[in-house]
Structure 1
Amino acid sequence: MSSGYWHDVASTAMEVPRDRPLVDLTAELTTMLGSTDPVERDETAYPILATWIAAGVYDDLLPGLGDGMAAGLTQGLGESGTDSVFRRSFSVLVLAECIRRDNAESLLPTGKVLEWGDRVAGWLVRERDVRGFVPGRGWAHAVAHGADAVGTLAGSSHFGLTELTVLLDVVADRVLAPSPPLTSGEPDRLAAATMAVLRRRLVPLRILEPWVARVSAGATAVGPPDTDPYLVTGNPEAFLRALHLQVALAPEPIDVRADLLLELVGALRVTNAAYLGAR
């Protein structure tokens, strides 16, 4: 359909058109999620799908819709610098909306949500295209969108201590993965996802202590002498700083706040020893 058709839909409170079957509309919007046109992708396809999901349009079709979005996470996976990133990055946003709908209405069996969690986790740690804003194409932001999905999963009643611990490990895996520097707010978004896990009040300090230590070790890793060390340490260091900020200043404090702050300050003291006069 023409862009004018979808512009009209967006301008009428995003009501579901009655002139075409929902399955056809959904298929077209799904294709548009991978568009290189940010107006089609960011301002049309994603907000329309998110609005329809939140309004209950897909309540009876939610498993199929989410499965379709999960399939989108594999398209071009492993590529970097190509346009395939848009389909993956915006598919995970819509999948997160499906999970958010279940968080609110309890529409899905536990197995389905856990399956989607596995798909999100597997994709996020394997994603190699970490670009933020792409000139001429708008936001790719795959890592940031993946972090948002992790935060949504953390709010699922289907996730207990084991699953929440896995989400923390996924965040650590992502910041420790060899990668160009994350410079478009991704460490902050990953820290926000971590806070969503911690607000469940299920993960004890005995699990958090070695988790912080693992990230801290990555932020002080020593690579070959002929390589830029910040390509290894920069992302975990940025994450530790972002998490410290959010734990310290969040208006909704977590129950392990005091103890976790001590752990984070200790880690930052080690990773910033050169600047603090500490040895």
Structure 2
Amino acid sequence: MAASYWKQVQEHGLAVPEDRPLDDLTAELTRMLGSPDPDDRDGIAYPLLSTWVARGVYDDLLIGLGDGMAAGLRVGIGERDTDTVFRRSFSALVLAECIARDNQCALVPGDKILQWGDRLATWLLAERDLRGFVPGKGWAHAIAHGADAISMLAESPYVAGPELTTVLLDVIADRLLLPVDELLVAGETDRLALATMNILRRDLVPLTVLEPWIARLTAHAGAATYDDRTPNLAGQNTETFLRALYLQLSLAGRPPAVRADLLLVLVDALRTVNPHYLRLE
């Protein structure tokens, strides 16, 4: 449809048009999620789909919509610097909205939520396009959107056991520890830290699990790159994440039960990584 059609939808309060079947509208908006034009993707497709999910338009169709978004996570996976990243990244955002709706209204079976979680984790660890903002095409932001989806998943009542919340923490750590050719500079580490906070707020993961998890990240944060690339390329993303997690944990208005003890662990970790700046003297 012409952009003017969707502009009219926006002007009418994002109400679902009555002149076309919802299936057709959804199919077109899903295609637009992968558009390199930010007006189509960020300006029309995502706002409409997320609003309709939140308003309950898809309540009877939520499984089908979520499955469609999960399929979108595989489009062009493994590619770098191509336009397929937009479909993957924005599919993750809409899938997060589906999970958020189920968190409110319990519309989807638990095994389906866990299946979506597995698809999200698999995609996030396989994603190789780390671009944040793409000039002329807007936000790609795959890692940030993946973090947002993990945040919603962490709030699901079906992610209720310590083993499941620990898996989510491991996904975040594994993503940070993957080799990269560029640093994350568009707030991705802050979003990963926020996802971690949502996991911690479930109060299901004990400090005995968190301490080795932080130690694993700390060891990586102190690594250096010994080649012609940026020397801090190996560990900077992880160090930036640890700083973001410390800040969010310190200032959180709704802190997890482990905050006091975990802050001490993070202080030790940051001192280890920054011995020249954070000496005890």
TM norm structure 1: 0.97
Note if contact 2:113-2:158 (Cα within 8 Å) is conserved in structure 1.
yes
* Residues 229 and 7 (structure 1), Cα distance of their counterparts in 2 relative to 1, 3 Å cut: same
* Unaligned stretches of 5+ residues in structure 1: none
Residue 225 (structure 1) shift: 5.3
Residue 229 (structure 1) shift: 3.0
Correspondence for 1:106? 106
Correspondence for 2:136? 136
How is 1:140-219 mapped onto 2 (pairs within 5 angstroms)? 140-160=140-160, 161-179=162-180, 180-219=182-221
1:1-38 deviations in Å (ceiling 9; x for gaps): 00000111111111111111110000000000001111
1:157-181 deviations in Å (ceiling 9; x for gaps): 0002111111100110111111210
Classify the secondary structure of the residue corresponding to 1:230. Answer: coil
Residue 222 (structure 1) shift: 4.1
Residue 224 (structure 1) shift: 3.3
1:17 aligns with 2:4: no
1:179-229 deviations in Å (ceiling 9; x for gaps): 210000000000000000011111111110110001101101244355533
Bigger drift between 247-256 and 97-106 goes to 247-256
Bigger drift between 147-156 and 170-179 goes to 170-179
Distance 2:95 2:199 in 1: 18
Distance 1:71 1:104 in 2: 24
Correspondence for 1:97? 97
Residue 125 (structure 1) shift: 1.1
Distance 1:79 1:90 in 2: 16
Correspondence for 1:250? 252
Percent of residue pairs identical: 62
Classify the secondary structure of the residue corresponding to 2:80. Answer: coil
Bigger drift between 224-233 and 23-32 goes to 224-233
Amino acid at match of 2:134: V
Correspondence for 1:55? 55
Amino acid at match of 1:258: A
TM norm structure 2: 0.97
Note if contact 2:271-2:279 (Cα within 8 Å) is conserved in structure 1.
no
Residue 55 (structure 1) shift: 1.0
Correspondence for 2:270? 268
* Unaligned stretches of 5+ residues in structure 2: none
Residue 275 (structure 1) shift: 2.5
Residue 251 (structure 1) shift: 1.5
Note if contact 2:225-2:232 (Cα within 8 Å) is conserved in structure 1.
no
Amino acid at match of 1:246: Q
Bigger drift between 224-233 and 113-122 goes to 224-233
**Residues matched between the structures, number:** 279
Distance 2:241 2:194 in 1: 10
Distance 1:173 1:149 in 2: 16
Q: What RMSD over aligned residues (CA atoms) do the two structures have, in Å? A: 1.3
Classify the secondary structure of the residue corresponding to 1:260. Answer: helix
